[in-house]
């Protein structure tokens, strides 16, 4: 279903950095698939001709004088977009613009966000597939929802709902994780539409060591974005059981209660209280008038 078929005012936002080899084709494909859509390319400090090619291809271009991050580019595009529906796709040619209509159909069915979920053959390598599988499993466990692709950058969303959470979104690559968990926490309907992603054109901006550490941070962020107590409570329980076990050992061997047991019990209580406070802060963060 195209933009003309469903009469939804659509803005397509494409963050791009040094994507001169692909951006022209990406914009052309988006214009063909959704001829009435507003197409916004956010050039995130590229050192090549990305911005010029995007402009020549017919896109509205926002230029960052320096690289501010993928998330910052997404936020910049969302702020100026005029569409009632926002669609996001990468500038490297991985996403099929012809599938935007399928995502919009899901919004017509009542969903607030539709995510293009990559299949197992669409990941760059085994490591990336394993990492994404881990994120999906953890997010599914915490949220109680079957999350097929937490980190996909191909999605369509109602603009009013998306803009509620702009202040939460990070400037880096983890914005899809944040917005997905934010929508679920706020009680918005999110669906995952299976799709196949093509091989990217050009060189990936992912760096294994730096982004490996960043992905570990994302794992903790997933939990704390949705329900901090689900993380802090098990840790608190582990400390409490450790203290209890050590107390039982010292009681039966020495007949006394030791300072170490008291220290571990105290740590359990402190961790639980931190989780409780974090839960309240999270609830306030996602409360809507």
pLDDT at 7 over 50: no
pLDDT at 68 over 90: yes
What is the mean pLDDT of the segment spanning 120-134? 66
Per-residue pLDDT tens digits for 139-163: 888 888 888 888 889 999 999 999 9
**Contact criterion met (CB below 8 Å) for 80 and 161:** no
pLDDT at 39: 96
pLDDT at 3: 43
pLDDT at 137: 84
pLDDT at 88 over 90: yes
pLDDT at 133: 80
Point out which residues pair with 61 in neighbouring strands: 41
What is the mean pLDDT of the segment spanning 121-137? 69
Phi-psi category of residue 195: left, alpha or beta, with phi > 0 → left and psi -120 to 50 → alpha: beta
Of residues 172 and 200, more confidently modeled:
172
Report pTM: 0.78
| 4: CB partners within 8 A, 6+ apart | 35, 36
**What's the rounded Cα separation, in Å, for the pair 168 and 178?**
7
Per-residue pLDDT band for 127 (boundaries 50, 70, 90) equals: low
pLDDT at 212 over 80: no
Task: Identify the three-state secondary structure at position 240.
Answer: helix
**Contact criterion met (CB below 8 Å) for 50 and 26:** no
pLDDT at 175: 87
Q: What is the dihedral of CA 56, 61, 67, 71, to 10 degrees?
A: -130
pLDDT at 260: 92
**Contact criterion met (CB below 8 Å) for 168 and 224:** no
Per-residue pLDDT band for 215 (boundaries 50, 70, 90) equals: low
pLDDT at 122 over 90: no
């Amino acid at each position: 279903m195209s933009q003309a078929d469903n009469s939804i005012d659509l803005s397509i936002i494409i963050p791009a950095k040094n994507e001169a080899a692909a951006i022209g084709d990406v914009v052309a494909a988006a214009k063909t698939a959704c001829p009435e859509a507003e197409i916004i390319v956010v050039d995130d400090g590229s050192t090549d001709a990305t911005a010029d090619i995007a402009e020549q291809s017919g896109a509205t271009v926002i230029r960052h004088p320096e690289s501010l991050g993928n998330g910052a580019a997404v936020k910049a595009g969302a702020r100026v977009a005029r569409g009632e529906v926002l669609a996001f796709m990468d500038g490297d040619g991985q996403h099929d613009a012809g599938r935007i209509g399928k995502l919009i159909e899901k919004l017509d069915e009542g969903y607030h966000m539709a995510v293009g979920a990559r299949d197992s053959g669409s990941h760059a390598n085994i490591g990336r597939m394993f990492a994404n599988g881990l994120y999906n499993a953890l997010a599914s466990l915490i949220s109680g929802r079957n999350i097929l692709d937490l980190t996909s950058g191909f999605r369509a969303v109602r603009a009013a709902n998306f803009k509620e959470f702009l202040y939460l979104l990070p400037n880096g690559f983890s914005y899809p994780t944040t917005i997905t968990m934010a929508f679920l926490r706020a009680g918005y309907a999110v669906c995952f539409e299976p799709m196949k992603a093509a091989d990217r054109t050009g060189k990936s901006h992912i760096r294994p060591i730096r982004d490996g550490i960043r992905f570990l941070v994302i794992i903790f962020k997933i939990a704390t974005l949705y329900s901090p107590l689900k993380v802090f409570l098990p840790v608190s329980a582990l400390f409490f059981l450790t203290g209890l076990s050590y107390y039982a050992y010292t009681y039966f061997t020495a007949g006394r209660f030791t300072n170490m047991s008291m220290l571990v019990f105290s740590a359990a209580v402190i961790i639980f209280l931190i989780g409780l406070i974090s839960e309240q802060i999270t609830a306030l963060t996602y409360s809507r008038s």
